[in-house]
Amino acid sequence: ATAFGPTVTSFVRPDPVPSPQDFVLWSFFNTMFCNPFCLGFIALVFSIKARDRKIAQDPGTAGSYGRTAKHLNIAAACLGIVVTIICITLLVMYYNSLQVGRP
C-alpha cells in the first residue's frame, strides 16, 4: 500500500535583471534639434536597434547598442551646443560691426 501525500512545489523567483536603456527619446530630440554631422540620426538608429534587441530578450546586445547611442547623443549634444554658441557669437559680432559704421 502506497500513500499519496500532498505535492509540495516551490518556486524560486530569480533576481530581476535590469533592463538596458535605449535612449530613444534623447536620440529623437537630438535628431530634431542637435544634429551636427547626422550624429543624432545615427544615435536614433542605434537606439531603435537597442529597443529591438531588448524586446527580443537579448540584454547583452541591447546594452551595447544602448551605450553606443548614449555616446553618440552626448557627442551630438555637445557639438550642437558649441555650434549654437559660435553662431550666436558670430551674429552678435556681425551686428556690432554694422552698428559701428553708423553715425
CB contact burial 65-99 (16+ within 10 A = b; e otherwise)? bbebbbebbebbbebbeeeeeeeeeeeeeeeeeee
Decide which of 101 and 35 is more confident: 35
pLDDT of residue 95: 93
Q: What is the pTM of this model?
A: 0.77
The amino acid present at 98, given as its one-letter code, is L
Write the pLDDT tens digit of every residue in 2-21. 667 677 777 788 777 778 99
Higher pLDDT, 28 or 98: 28
**Cα 45 off chain centre by:** 10
Q: Is the pLDDT of residue 103 over 70?
A: no
Please state whether 53 falls in left (phi above 0), alpha (psi between -120 and 50) or beta.
alpha
pLDDT in tens, 25-45: 999 999 999 888 999 999 999
Reference 73, options 28, 103, 43; nearest CA is 43
Proportion of the chain above pLDDT 90, given as a percent: 69
Residue 100, C-alpha cell as written in the block: 559701428
